[in-house]
Amino acid sequence: MNLSEKEKQEIIELIKQGKPLPKEYIYKLTENEEDVHLFWNGKTTDVTNVALPFHSIEQIDEPRGDVQAPMSLFSVDPSSKRQSGGWSNKLVWGDNKLVLSSLLNGPMREEIEKAGGLKLIYIDPPFAVGADFGYDISVGDDSVTKRQSVIEEIAYRDTWGKGLSSYLTMMYERLKLMRDLLSDDGSIYVHCDWRVNSALRLVLDEIFGVDNFINEIAWNKIKSVKAQTLGFGNVRDTIFFYKKGKPFFNQIRIPHKQEYLDTMYRYKEKDGRIYRLHDFTQEGQGTPKRFGDDTLTPPVGKHWIWSQDKIDEGIKLGLIVFSKNGIPQVKRYLDNVQGEAVSDIWVDISPIGSVATERVDYPTQKPEALLERIIKASSNEGDLVADFFCGSGTTPAVAEKLGRKWIACDLGRFAIHTTRKRLIGVQRELKKQDKPYRSFEILNLGKYERQHFFNIPPDLPEEEQDKLVERNRQDFVSLILEAYSAQPVEGFRALHGRKGNRMVHVGPLRVPVTKSLAQEIFYECVENDITNVDVLGFEFEMGLVPETAQEFYQDKGVQMNFKYIPTEVFDERAVKKGQVKFYDAAYIEAKPKVEGKKVTITLANFATSYTQDDLAMVEEGLRKGKSQVIIENGTIKRVSKDENGICSPPEILTKSWKDWIDYWAVDFDYGSKREIIRIGKNGDAKEVWTGNYIFENEWQSFRTKNGELEFLSEHTYKEPGKYRIMVKVVDILHVDTSLVLEVEVK
């Protein structure tokens, strides 16, 4: 180290005082380690190695009818026409850091290896400082903006708000996990723009190695250039392309346009001489004339040529150079006529148009042609590809169409629901074309992600986990009460806090709020003359329908409200900002009609009390002559202020409960498939039944650009008996609500 004694003493004193070292000292301390040292505030080389089990909360497989998938790909159950074996694609909702670590270190790693390993990763991580992931909801001719969730805001916007260093820290750990998850011949494409591309390139160089850098691709994302006050128009994004080890690549070519091919000279090679053809419509017709004949002026310079001497050899495209005397000097054939090899500047892929059929109105959606090029270049049919910031689902949609297996992950509820609908649409389209397609399942980390917050390992025996939960009980209750803005209380068995004139119960960390627990809360309220209580829970027992239970206890003198605890409670920043929103369980009414073995399910009603905006605050902040659409207490309404500053009564835009439905699906035999999860590290995993069942998505209807929702679903059972039917509704805010019905068919 090139440090003087004075500098050494200054460094020691700064360390003793807990003060940061000046950058020039840091550089001197590390100058002998390597030629270039990548450093930023908060950088750490630590990578999580947690292995949390995945919950399979839903399986989706469009019935194939008489179409059978090739057995070489996967098995199909002939009775249901659904996939019964082989790889099932994964759509994972959750923090991709925990998801990546669990894929890498958990039992699913074995499943990935059996599928041939992960060959390709494409990611388009958020990179715009202050980006907004809200989205517009259409209600008739109006629209309202659904703001991004707090967890998205904290994960993305607040991260950038702290500067580039926090963004790089977030990406560094995730990219290291992705590298380790890739197969040895795998590759990664990282999409970014001018804000972070220079720094991200250095991070990728450090993680993957400079020698494994392949391309810096410039994609022309905007066709019409807007004049800027200072500088040139910004029209491109950057896509970094790295390999992990052994190179793998399929050459991609851009086809020639027909009008270009039609203008080329046509020649034929015969007896070692080159002839120009008079007849352009069909090879061999007409009388070819040899160069040098008086009737034919020899060309000079370079010319493209066609040659089709032998039909079985196909058409070749080549280049010929003629001397001043018309003598061919050089002839070079290309392999085929598919066009020029693609360069690292992509100007031929247009952005998604406003009326494009593939458009799903997701803010960061990328064109399918972009992903098609990447997937074709760096994977083969049957390979496994992944996208851990999947957004609108372009990567899995294109992968499915190209016959690839896939894993997709996102943190946002809107992204997962958009991708789910899009993939069902892909399944339906492939079914029409008699092409194979795979089932996919929706996964999350569920209660194990909650336990991870309190350092409760999932592979411990249940009794040990219960002891740790009890040990952390007070911290857990305090956390939830703080997030709910409630004050703790003592001296009660089942009541933990007070908010205004309402008592509060905090439900369990690991299991749902049950009917017996609701009764216990009710009895304690009666004993103490308490008439209002809020019951907070992560999940509610399937037989406990919050809306029905609320009416039941209200008739007995206790107003009991059931509210879901959001995942944001586990982020300290969200709690301290007071941004955590607990939401009431929505109400579904579905009516079954049984006729022999045929059952008809009618979606009859839906109600939500979701509130995003404060009506009084909106009215106060509204300018004269302006209006705003808001969401309050389960209604979407327009608030207007006239030129005199007087607010009109709000206009209700959601005229019917049907306006709230975006998607609904039915499992006609819920409970027939247990949810079995694998707990433990690689090579040491055990199978455990969670006590839950998997929702098998057998029928669904959802809003599309050109289609209307159906509110009636039919199913015919093969055997008589009693069946449980689950109805799942996703509203226009993309919140899931479920209802279980029981029927008996004869």
Query: Model-level pTM?
Result: 0.83
How far is Cα 741 from Cα 746, in angstroms, rounded to an integer? 17
Instruction: Give the chain's count of helices (H) and strands (E).
Output: 19, 41
Q: Is 272 exposed, middle or buried (0-12, 13-18, 19+ CB in 10 A)?
A: exposed
Residue at 528 is within a domain: yes
Name the CA dihedral angle for 548, 551, 552, 558, rounded to a multiple of 10 degrees: 140
Residue at 497 is within a domain: yes
Using an 8 Å Cβ cutoff, are 419 and 399 in contact? no
Residue 721 region by backbone torsions, left for phi larger than 0, else alpha for psi between -120 and 50, else beta: left
Phi and psi for 566 in degrees, rounded to 5?
-80, 160
Residue at 47 is within a domain: no
Using an 8 Å Cβ cutoff, are 163 and 40 in contact? no
> Helices 546-555 and 515-527: crossing angle, nearest 10°?
30
What pLDDT shows up at residue 683? 65
In which residue are the tokens 């693609």 written?
342
User: Are 21 and 150 part of one and the same domain?
Assistant: no
pLDDT in tens, 539-579: 888 666 655 666 778 788 899 888 989 887 887 777 877 77
Nearest to 522 by CA among 531, 511, 510, 513: 531
User: Are 172 and 227 part of one and the same domain?
Assistant: yes
User: Are 557 and 628 part of one and the same domain?
Assistant: no
pLDDT in tens, 634-692: 888 888 998 888 898 888 888 889 988 999 999 999 999 999 888 877 667 788 888 88
Using an 8 Å Cβ cutoff, are 63 and 459 in contact? no
What pLDDT shows up at residue 584? 81
Residue at 467 is within a domain: no
User: Are 599 and 572 part of one and the same domain?
Assistant: no
User: Are 162 and 61 part of one and the same domain?
Assistant: yes
Q: Which residues contact 618 (CB under 8 A, 6 or more apart)?
A: 628, 630, 639
What pLDDT shows up at residue 667? 96
What pLDDT shows up at residue 405? 97
User: Are 148 and 180 part of one and the same domain?
Assistant: yes
User: Are 558 and 652 part of one and the same domain?
Assistant: no
User: Are 101 and 214 part of one and the same domain?
Assistant: yes
What pLDDT shows up at residue 232? 86
What pLDDT shows up at residue 546? 58
The domain of 273 spans 254-341
**Mind giving me the DSSP string for 585-641?**
PPEEEEEEEEETTEEEEEEEEEE-----S-HHHHHHHPPTT-EEEEEETTEEEEEEB
Low-confidence ranges of the chain (pLDDT < 70): 1, 30-36, 66-73, 127-162, 256-339, 542-550, 682-683
Name the CA dihedral angle for 281, 287, 290, 294, rounded to a multiple of 10 degrees: -110
Bridge partners, residue 122, by sequence: 189
User: Are 309 and 166 part of one and the same domain?
Assistant: no
What pLDDT shows up at residue 384? 98
User: Are 319 and 349 part of one and the same domain?
Assistant: no
User: Are 3 and 106 part of one and the same domain?
Assistant: no
How much is the mean pLDDT over the chain?
82
User: Are 60 and 157 part of one and the same domain?
Assistant: yes
Nearest to 66 by CA among 431, 426, 439: 431
**Terminal Cα distance for the chain, rounded:** 86
What pLDDT shows up at residue 398? 98
